[in-house]
Amino acid sequence: MKTINTIFALSSAYGKAGVSVFRISGPASYDILNKLSNGKKFLPNVVKFTNIYHPKTNVLLDSCMAVFFKGPASYTGEDTVELYTHGSIAVIDSIYEALSNFKDARIAEKGEFTKQAFLNNKLDLTQVEAIADLIDAETESQRKLALSNTNGEASKLYNSWREKLVKILAWCEASIDFSDDEMPKDVVEKNDNDLKKLISEIEKHIETSSSAQLIKQGLKVAIIGKPNVGKSSIFNKIIGENKAIVSNIAGTTRDALDASLDIDGFKVNISDTAGLNEKTSDKIEKKGIKKALDIASKADIKIYMVDGIRSIDEKKIDGDTIVLFNKIDKKQNQNLPKNIIPISVKTGENWNKFWNIFTKKIKSKMQNSCDVTLTQQRYKNALNNCIEFLKIAIKESQIDLKAENLRLASDEIGSITGKIYFNELLDNIFSSFCLGK
Ligand SMILES: Nc1nc2c(ncn2[C@@H]2O[C@H](COP(=O)(O)OP(=O)(O)O)[C@@H](O)[C@H]2O)c(=O)[nH]1
Ligand SMILES: [Mg+2]
């Protein structure tokens, strides 16, 4: 069977919009455009207004702008056509139908345009994954994190490490035929020192991975405290909607409620939890409390709410806890310790003070994270494997075994950028893409 390597897809979202974008990529793309436009000629990189006709019936489908990119000077590295049509469901459907009449073109798989770009060496895998992250980005910090890698920041770093290894490896391989006493001892020593330096550089780099995870997955905030202190009230106020039920009946919030929001450009996942009523004998309430404590233990920041001095449990307060003394609209001036913020969620008194402390804490947790290049768990795994091989290589006195471990170490780094890849890895990466990218 002949493989069809010209692909097409709608690259913008399906639905009503100002403009919809179709992409066609592969050797047949120019001919398809030529046929759709009833024989019009297109110069590379020049956008042209054209009518689009059905290739069989010659019925007018839409008037649109079209551009032809001559490969390799295109996103995919192949000859590529882009059509900017009216953003109408009927137009989109009719163009899909029209394109499906071309025997030498087929509908693209998820991420297949980007896969072509990778296979044509237009992008490496760190850039490919950064593009997927950029498309998924919802906050300013996620955008920044992804963008630096789309521009090749990670590629530069990992390629430089791999080059260092390849140089040492080349020397080892060239020395395999030497006898032990012919080996210049100082070179072996220098190489081993360079490898040790590289290990500590990689170890330092791995430490930054948690920052990237915070940006990508979001910072976890838990609201905890006894029943009825106002936890659900502050949860609703922070997220800006009445998601949690507020009532003066203790034990109203039995299960945890979650919401995600953008605070000053950072993704924050906030949980309202069941009141910590240690005296309860109610089975479901007990379960809720266990869950609340579990959420609190995993949180990056805790908002611990109280409404009475005597009920404060010092054990619940650590460096990541903001303690709020709520309902001050009802109470006389209390002499509170400095680290406890008096507040009224109901009247809004001292809200700004709380908000400033809260957002400062968020920012301090996220600081500098946007410069991080280690954005995927798979890089971390490969780098840890690389370190293991390097450690063996340093210890190894037999030169051929040293070389073998260096090769394995450099292949681990090569797998990050895609210099070394296997199809399963590509399938895994590209299946997370949307259609048309
Ligand atoms: N006077 C006053 N009442 C509040 C304040 N915040 C919450 N409440 C009330 O306290 C009760 C319990 O609130 P809720 O948010 O459900 O507390 P939770 O059990 O900790 O989630 C409700 O009747 C709220 O209206 C406040 O700042 N001042
Ligand atoms: Mg509640």
| Best residue for ligand 1 mutational test, from 238, 246, 332 (most atoms within 8 Å of Cβ) | 246
pLDDT computed for residue 406 by the predictor: 95
Q: Which atom of ligand 1 is nearest to the CA of 248?
A: 23
Distance 218 CA to ligand 1 centre (A): 27
Q: What's the CA dihedral at 19, 24, 29, 33 to 10 degrees?
A: -20
pLDDT computed for residue 173 by the predictor: 85
- CATH superfamily for domain 7-108: Probable tRNA modification gtpase trme; domain 1 (3.30.1360.120)
pLDDT computed for residue 97 by the predictor: 96
CATH class of 125-208+374-430: mainly alpha
pLDDT computed for residue 358 by the predictor: 96
Q: Which atom of ligand 1 is nearest to the CA of 305?
A: 20
Distance 252 CA to ligand 2 centre (A): 6
Query: Are both 7-108 and 125-208+374-430 of the same fold?
Result: no
Q: Taking Cα atoms as reference points, which of 346, 349, 352, 307 lies closest to residue 325?
A: 307
Distance 322 CA to ligand 1 centre (A): 18
CB of 33 within 8 A of CB of 25? no
pLDDT computed for residue 359 by the predictor: 95
Pocket of ligand 1 (CB under 6 A): 225, 227-233, 246-248, 252-253, 275, 326-327, 329-330, 344-346
CB of 273 within 8 A of CB of 296? yes
CATH class of 223-366: alpha beta
pLDDT (tens, 9 = 90+) of the chain, 437 residues, equals 567 789 999 999 999 999 999 999 999 999 999 999 999 999 999 999 999 999 999 999 999 999 999 999 999 999 999 999 999 999 999 999 999 999 999 999 999 999 999 999 999 999 999 999 999 999 998 998 899 889 898 999 999 999 999 999 988 888 877 766 676 777 888 889 999 999 999 999 998 888 888 888 999 999 999 999 999 999 999 999 888 888 888 878 888 899 999 998 999 999 999 988 888 888 888 888 899 999 999 999 999 999 988 888 888 899 999 999 999 998 766 788 888 999 999 999 999 999 999 999 998 888 766 567 888 999 999 999 999 999 999 999 888 899 999 999 999 999 999 988 888 888 888 888 888 78
Distance 246 CA to ligand 2 centre (A): 6
Q: Which atom of ligand 1 is nearest to the CA of 229?
A: 20
- CB-neighbour burial class of residue 4 (10 A; exposed 0-12, middle 13-18, buried 19+): middle
Element (H, E) at 76: none
pLDDT computed for residue 369 by the predictor: 60
Query: How is the chain split into domains, by residue range?
Result: 7-108, 125-208+374-430, 223-366
* Distance separating alpha carbons of residues 160 and 395, to the nearest angstrom: 23
pLDDT computed for residue 333 by the predictor: 66
